[in-house]
Amino acid sequence: MTAPAATDPIDYKLDDQVGFVMRRANQRHLALFASLIPELTPTQFAALAKLCELGEISQNALGRATAMDAATIKGVVDRLRRKGFVADKPDPTDQRRLLLKPTAAAWAAYDRLLPRAQEITASTLAPLTEGERAVFLLLLRKLT
Partner DNA sequence: CAAAATCCATTTGCGTACAAACAATATGGA
Partner DNA sequence: TCCATATTGTTTGTACGCAAATGGATTTTG
User: Which residues contribute to the site for its own copies (CB under 8 A)?
Assistant: 7, 9, 12-14, 16-29, 33, 42, 46, 49-50, 53, 66-67, 114-115, 117-118, 120-121, 124-125, 127-128, 132, 135-137, 139-144
CB nearer to DNA: give 69 or 132: 69
- Residue 117: HSE in the Cβ half-sphere, 13 Å Cα cutoff: 16
> What's the maximum distance between 2 C-alpha atoms anywhere in the chain?
74
Give the residue, chosen from 32, 33, 37, 43, that forms a contact with DNA under the rule CB under 7 A: 43
Cα angle 47, 50, 53; round to 5 = 150
Q: Any idea of the CA torsion for 115, 130, 30, 99, to the nearest 10 degrees?
A: 50
For DNA, the closer of residues 1 and 143 by Cβ is 143
Supply the DSSP symbol for 57: E
85 close to 106: Cβ distance less than 8 angstroms = yes
- Residues 111 and 103: beta-carbon distance below 8 Å: no
Is 94 an interacting residue with respect to DNA (CB under 7 A)? yes
Amino acid symbol at 92: P
Q: Which of 1, 3, 10, 71 binds DNA (CB under 7 A)?
A: 71
* Least Cβ distance, residue 10 to its own copies (angstroms): 9
**Contact partner at residue 21 from its own copies, DNA, none, CB < 5 to 8 Å by partner kind:** its own copies
Distance CA 14, CA 16 (A): 5
Closer to its own copies at the Cβ: 52 or 87?
Answer: 52
Among its own copies, DNA, none, partner that 86 touches (CB below 5 to 8 angstroms by kind): none
Residues binding DNA (CB under 7 A): 23, 27, 30-31, 34, 41-44, 58-61, 67-72, 74-76, 79, 91, 93-99
